[in-house]
Structure 1
């Protein structure tokens, strides 16, 4: 079977409005003067993952629902400019939108507009199957239309990853994603016991690897029944924005996995890419490229391990 696409990204397309605020939480006031400007750009979780995968040289195809509106045009232009194939399913409710408040230390508070969708929204199953059959891997965003695509992806025999973001380990909405994917990413932010949640994902689902990112504290990696801590990587430039760091981590981890690297090396790739993302302003949609990733990773490895594999 021909696999002409390395990674099929499902869901997570949209537009963010970025507002740099003097602090978070933002004290109540009648008004604030925003000298840095208020800017709208394409880029939500699926877009960030797709851009990051493309920057690392992986053949990437993104599929999601988009509106026939100026925001949808921004998403289409982003994919066109980055050379990423896009299948846009019409969304009468309009393109997904969010407002991100970003503090001077790079922390983010996101306000998601949930009105841009309907309970019966679906990604067309024949198209999902066609794209999945031509792909080596599928990365699935936790949006409602993607939940209904999970059985078709599994039927096609493609490996699957997902990002549960700030799941608390209890909300049942996330469970179909957590229990269907072979690789599961999530944030440790809302977890009182990350190891317990990670092991439950493995016990109840199909996951071979679970990664819980913990920001400046690094990440937890569960692979081959062993939990290890992955140290954080110091960014090579000042931290300006944490937006997209988790998406960058996931994309670089998948790049390593599809290259045949062991989980610990994949996690190092992710840590380096995530650190780089923190140095990129939220108003930009950019990612580390393959050469820069390998050059940075090589600095953490002994000489005999600094060679690279090709995807």
Structure 2
């Protein structure tokens, strides 16, 4: 495949897969020989790259997704999701199979994810020419931290296309995340595992190329570091009852990038992210759904009052 300039706005790299959703009576789940799951156990397409892609597309950004997929039922679910949402997909063959996870979801919407790391090989790589073509065909690249995206970072840096990444629940120390943190122009992460979010955020900005660093903090909002200034972004009340936190960080990133690519200042981009993240918490884990542009803008207007 050879991409043409202007084919898409954003290339999303990695993070395609399926989740099996199990609603449990509480988290942590006490040991028992068995549990009866009356709500059912369901498998649907949607991991971090899929969620970001769906979020971007729902906001009107032309989106292309590149990853490795297996020739298996799980891969078929991922392909169908992209087809249904009008999202371009380049799926390279993955003999080990499509990435998958099991998500245990508690009554309060909290999630425990069990990732199957056997669905990749150490030698997996994205073809460099294909990667360059797809990156240069767009305005922005969002890089997930799934394997083998780390090996793609030097190639992407050479294209000159702006990069973003999401470090998820990085503790600020794990060396696996550092190449992503230092290579991206926009860095998202969760504050959940950080004792001092500001210290980690300033370290990312000081050592890498990040112009903006955002640490999300759930119901406490988010921390925004832009132009050397740390700002607290308040949380936005969800538009419906909270049922699941899965995908909230991906929704935040997608809406932030929508704001950035439409010329909004960082604080307004972060407000967009807060609105989208709150919306995502109202979507059951068994669905892959994102806030639309009209609802995002209306929510951002309400939160500014």
**TM-score of the superposed pair, with normalisation by structure 1:** 0.96
List structure 1 runs of 4+ shifted beyond 4 angstroms: none
1:156 aligns with 2:156: no
Instruction: Name the structure 1 match of 2:27.
Output: 24
1:119 aligns with 2:125: no
SS in 2 for 1:5: coil
Instruction: Name the structure 1 match of 2:101.
Output: 98
Q: In structure 2, what is the Cα distance between the partners aligned to 1:179 and 1:239?
A: 34
Once the 2 structures are TM-superposed, how far is the Cα of residue 300 of structure 1 from its aligned partner? 2.4
Instruction: Name the structure 2 match of 1:245.
Output: 248
Instruction: Name the structure 2 match of 1:223.
Output: 226
Q: In structure 2, what is the Cα distance between the partners aligned to 1:73 and 1:52?
A: 20
Quick one: which of 160, 185, 196 aligns to 1:182? Answer: 185
Number of aligned residues: 302
Q: In structure 2, what is the Cα distance between the partners aligned to 1:88 and 1:260?
A: 31
Once the 2 structures are TM-superposed, how far is the Cα of residue 281 of structure 1 from its aligned partner? 0.2
Once the 2 structures are TM-superposed, how far is the Cα of residue 166 of structure 1 from its aligned partner? 0.5
Instruction: Name the structure 2 match of 1:301.
Output: 304
Instruction: Name the structure 1 match of 2:42.
Output: 39
Contact 2:255 2:272 in 1 (8 A): yes
Once the 2 structures are TM-superposed, how far is the Cα of residue 178 of structure 1 from its aligned partner? 0.3
Where in structure 1 are there 5+ consecutive unaligned residues?
Answer: 303-311
1:287 aligns with 2:290: yes
Instruction: Name the structure 1 match of 2:64.
Output: 61
Once the 2 structures are TM-superposed, how far is the Cα of residue 144 of structure 1 from its aligned partner? 2.3
Q: In structure 1, what is the Cα distance between the partners aligned to 2:71 and 2:178?
A: 32
Q: In structure 2, what is the Cα distance between the partners aligned to 1:123 and 1:280?
A: 33
SS in 1 for 2:177: helix
Once the 2 structures are TM-superposed, how far is the Cα of residue 124 of structure 1 from its aligned partner? 1.0
1:226-247 alpha-carbon deviations (Å, 9 max, x no partner): 0111111110100000000000
Question: For the aligned residues, what is the CA RMSD?
Answer: 0.9
Q: In structure 1, what is the Cα distance between the partners aligned to 2:15 and 2:274?
A: 22
Once the 2 structures are TM-superposed, how far is the Cα of residue 298 of structure 1 from its aligned partner? 1.3
Q: In structure 2, what is the Cα distance between the partners aligned to 1:177 and 1:135?
A: 20
Q: In structure 2, what is the Cα distance between the partners aligned to 1:137 and 1:60?
A: 10
Contact 2:143 2:165 in 1 (8 A): yes
1:152-190 alpha-carbon deviations (Å, 9 max, x no partner): 111111000000000000111111100000000000011
SS in 2 for 1:266: helix
Instruction: Name the structure 2 match of 1:7.
Output: 10
1:84 aligns with 2:87: yes
1:11-50 alpha-carbon deviations (Å, 9 max, x no partner): 0000000000000001111111101000000000000000
1:171 aligns with 2:171: no
SS in 2 for 1:172: coil
Instruction: Name the structure 2 match of 1:255.
Output: 258
Q: In structure 2, what is the Cα distance between the partners aligned to 1:58 and 1:231?
A: 26
SS in 2 for 1:222: strand
**TM-score of the superposed pair, with normalisation by structure 2:** 0.98
Contact 2:236 2:303 in 1 (8 A): no
Q: In structure 2, what is the Cα distance between the partners aligned to 1:92 and 1:301?
A: 49
Q: In structure 1, what is the Cα distance between the partners aligned to 2:43 and 2:9?
A: 30
